[in-house]
Amino acid sequence: MSDATPGSQAAARPGPRAELSWLRAFVAVARTGAVGRAATLLGRTQPSISARIAALERAWDTRLFRRIARGMTPTPEGARLLPLVESALRQLGELERAAGIPISGERELRLGAGDALGRVLLPRALAGLMRDSPGLEIHVREGPGPRLLEALRAGEIDVALVVSTEVAASADDFDLRPLVRSPVDLLVPAGFRGRSGRAVALRSLAGERLVVLQPGSSFRRHLETAFAAASVTFHPAVEVGNLSLVRRFVSAGLGVAPVPGVAFEDDDPLAGVERRRIGGVAPVVYSYAVRPGVPLPAATRRLLERLERG
């Protein structure tokens, strides 16, 4: 023979979870004092409101209302639960509103970019955006693609501008859209192999002193792949940390440097350096990566539109 009380068995038994529509019906009846007025407030029928109240009372094993002459009023148990239910519904409303709002403010830009797009294309787009929307707060994280993608995954930035091949291993984590195709150019000392403007074959670089970015660079991996495909040994003579140093080392006569052409568009000329096109190397495709299902701030969307227009 069990010594448990009837109420304790009901409390221990898992029942159906309260649905939001039941909670909203409960609050509406409690605040309006009648099922009919609650039905009008919620745009539902009286039977549907009554059914929701009955379902909630069964789920909680608690009578929530008693009838009075002009409608219904909460029981002591219902009156105790009412502020808790209203608080829960308010918090849920705040949660739903926050779920559609980006972490960044409307006047804040948080993005990551490598050296190639950060030299010319990105500053030009940001300058145009600032003319239209002065007062923007701009936070640019510079680094190699894998590091930028980690920052994007962690929500530290809203968009990462990277070489498309860097996202292949994490394709399920990001939405990717091509942004720009950049030819591969060669920075050479003035007068290198004859008249200015002549294209240089990749095979002809065998034996040249190469000035390149350090290991870990996406563009360097692109070069390594191209050299291997052409059966040309990739043997750097000088390794540096950014493209500005690459150009200065070429100017100093320390070698020639394959570079992404987009990094030197509209660039101020540096004495003693020319830019040639390299034949036999595929363009580098730069894309922007975002997290799927995460809304972008308005300023970030406008920046991406400018970048896509070039």
Q: Which helix (H) or strand (E) holds 171?
A: none
What is the reported pLDDT for 271? Answer: 67
Residue 151 CA, distance from chain mean position: 9
Rounded Cα gap, residues 223 and 53, in angstroms? 69
What is the reported pLDDT for 2? Answer: 39
Report the half-sphere exposure of 299 (CA within 13 A, side-chain side): 25
Query: For residue 67, what are the β-bridge partners?
Result: 72
Query: For residue 290, what are the β-bridge partners?
Result: 175
Query: What's the mean per-residue pLDDT of the chain?
Result: 86
Rounded Cα gap, residues 203 and 231, in angstroms? 8
Rounded Cα gap, residues 117 and 250, in angstroms? 20
DSSP 208: S
CA distances from 203 to 15, 184, 207, 229 (A): 75, 14, 10, 11
Q: Give the global pTM.
A: 0.66
Q: Which helix (H) or strand (E) holds 245?
A: helix 243-251
pLDDT tens digit string along 89-109? 999 887 876 666 666 777 788
Tell how many helices (H) and how many strands (E) occur in the chain: 11, 13
Helix (H/G/I), strand (E/B), else coil: 10: helix
Q: Which residues of the chain have pLDDT under 70?
A: 1-16, 97-103, 167-171, 193-197, 267-271
CA distances from 221 to 77, 165, 213, 241, 267 (A): 69, 10, 10, 14, 24
| Size of the chain, expressed as the number of residues it contains | 310
Rounded Cα gap, residues 302 and 142, in angstroms? 20
pLDDT tens digit string along 135-178? 888 899 998 888 899 999 888 899 999 998 876 656 678 898 99
Sequence-ordered list of residues with C-beta below 8 angstroms from that of 28, at least 6 positions apart, any chain: 37, 38, 41, 42, 49
What is the reported pLDDT for 270? Answer: 65
pLDDT tens digit string along 211-235? 999 998 889 999 999 999 999 999 9
Decide if 102 contacts 297 (C-beta within 8 A): yes
Domains and CATH numbers, the chain: 14-99 (1.10.10.10), 108-181+286-309 (3.40.190.10), 184-282 (3.40.190.10)
Tokens of 259: 């570079």
Rounded Cα gap, residues 143 and 131, in angstroms? 27
